Amino acid sequence: MTLSSVVFLILFLGASVFFGIRIARIIRTIRMGLPDNRSDRPAERWKTTFRVALGQSKMVSRPVAGIFHIFIYVAFVITQVELIEILVDGTGGSHRLFYPLLGGFYTFIISLIEVLSVLALIATFIFLARRNLIKLPRFTKSEMTGWPRLDGNIILYLECLLVLFIFTMNGADEVLHLGGNSHAAGSGGFGFAVSSWLGPLVFGSLDTETLHLLERIGWWGHICVVLAFLCYLPFSKHLHILWAFPNVYFSNLKPMGQFSNMESVTAEVKLMLDPNANPYAAQPTDGNATPKRFGAKDVFDLPWTAILNAYTCTECGRCTSACPANITGKKLSPRKIMMDVRDRAEELSKLKRTKGDAADDGKSLIRDYITEEEIWACTSCNACVQECPVNIDPLAIIVDLRRYLVMEESKIPAELVTMATNIENNQAPWQFSPADRVNWRNE
């Protein structure tokens, strides 16, 4: 085994182990949430996954961003074929091992990758412009300062580097192969769609030694960018390229607007309605057990699917740009809700790893991260849920936080107190007697 192969294996295994450890940690963090059975209707769930996650069906609701995102998405998927060859070559010390085995089909695959890489590069420049030159409003909200802004650009910079290294590698190798000097079998050029003309145009005047150096720079640069991206991915919003699939599969299939019932509340209501029920049946049988909380005060009071939602959030801002509360200037931003849940989950996970499961930092999701003003600004219209390209549900989190404030702390905006009182007394939000409800017909 050559020194080059040893260095390659050390880098590859090191990055893979680091990535695996980080992903396992995130999975443990997601499992801090409450149980939530989403195993029903598997056929519909698979259909939704293929349509929304794999097929990108909700992305194209905004055609410009959707089409260019598909360019990057397809290029990312297809490029994995070339990455397989690079892994094989890096481990065994070979060079374009699949070329003599696949012949013309190999040329077709690499040509397709090159064309997609050009389209992805165009999309990258457009996305950089939208974020940094045009400065679309949804990319300049208050929650998108600091790391979120930088994070949104890092992947685009890495994409530019990756394409540069790909064409440096293929272009230099194309010129070498034309002269019979490539380490790959045969001569006369590979005939790749882009490199067959770009290579001679850019590198045609260079000597053989320089071409070999450039080809190696392109090869090592390509794999180093990929491994750097692998290590960076678990700390980035771009983790959605992995989580999008399970997130869509486990998404809420109930009709929009149908709220879930809390089991603890349902049990109490049944006890009230059944005169023969044991009034102590709903109490914990273990004297040391903690009664179940109504609603959510912190991340661990949310279902695990809500935490998965948070880690899947792409921070694209479609939810916030469609939110009527945000549009009218209120503090609520559904994207910020998801970012806050993820940040709090990370904070709690680190606390429990370092100080034990019983550790308490005295903070909570409500107030320390998300204010009461934010959650009461929500109109429950489901616009954020409809807009999300990966079926994230910020409304479910907002409702759980509201439930905690109302049922645990008896906190509710004054405007809603009147409405709730009217519903209790008059079975309607208005301050009219039920007997007078249809008097409007006599007007």
228 in the same domain as 275:
no
183 in the same domain as 89:
yes
Domain region containing 273: 263-279+292-433
What number of other Cβ atoms are within 10 A of residue 291's Cβ?
9
User: Is 308 within 8 Å of 30 (Cβ atoms)?
Assistant: yes
Q: How far is CA 414 from the centre of its chain?
A: 37
**Type of residue found at 400:** D
Q: Residue 176 domain-assigned?
A: yes
The backbone torsions φ and ψ at residue 370, rounded to the nearest 5 degrees and listed phi first, read -115, 125
pLDDT, the chain, mean? 89
Q: Which two tokens stand for residue 318?
A: 């479609």
The backbone torsions φ and ψ at residue 194, rounded to the nearest 5 degrees and listed phi first, read -100, -45
Q: Residue 309 domain-assigned?
A: yes
- Residues pairing with 370 in the sheet: 366
298 in the same domain as 353:
yes
Question: For position 278, what pLDDT does the model report?
Answer: 59
Per-position DSSP letters for 312-373, written without gaps between them: H-----HHHHH-HHHHTT-S--HHHHHHHHHHHHHHHHHHHHHH-TT---S--HHHHTB-HH
Segment 302-341, tens digit of pLDDT: 999 999 999 999 999 999 999 999 999 999 999 999 999 9
Give buried/exposed letters for 20-45 (b at 16+ CB in 10 A, else e).
Answer: eebeeebeebbebbbebebeeeeeeb
371 in the same domain as 271:
yes
What number of other Cβ atoms are within 10 A of residue 65's Cβ?
19
353 in the same domain as 227:
no
417 in the same domain as 310:
yes
Assign residue 327 the CATH number of its domain: 1.10.1060
Q: Residue 256 domain-assigned?
A: no
For the chain, residues with pLDDT lower than 70 are 1, 275, 277-291, 443
Question: For position 366, what pLDDT does the model report?
Answer: 95
Residues whose CB falls within 8 Å of the CB of residue 403, separated by 6 or more in sequence, listed in order:
262, 294, 295, 296
Question: For position 289, what pLDDT does the model report?
Answer: 54
**Residue 247: in which H helix or E strand, if any?**
helix 240-249
Q: Which of 98, 90, 75, 77 is nearest to 223 (CA)?
A: 90
Distance (Å, whole) CA 171 – CA 182: 12
Helix axes 304-312, 240-249, angle to 10 degrees: 140
387 in the same domain as 303:
yes
201 in the same domain as 308:
no
421 in the same domain as 343:
yes
User: Is 203 within 8 Å of 214 (Cβ atoms)?
Assistant: yes
Question: For position 417, what pLDDT does the model report?
Answer: 86
Per-position DSSP letters for 413-441, written without gaps between them: -HHHHHHHHHHHHHSSSSSS-GGGTTGGG
210 in the same domain as 308:
no
Number of domains forming the structure of the chain: 2
Burial class (CB in 10 A: 0-12, 13-18, 19+), 242: middle
426 in the same domain as 391:
yes
Distance (Å, whole) CA 172 – CA 175: 5
Per-position DSSP letters for 275-313, written without gaps between them: TTS-TTTTS-SSTTPPPPPSS-SSGGGSBHHHHHHHHH-
Question: For position 415, what pLDDT does the model report?
Answer: 82
Segment 167-187, tens digit of pLDDT: 999 999 999 998 888 888 777
325 in the same domain as 240:
no
Q: Which two tokens stand for residue 406?
A: 């109302």
Q: Look up the pTM and report it.
A: 0.87
Q: Residue 46 domain-assigned?
A: no
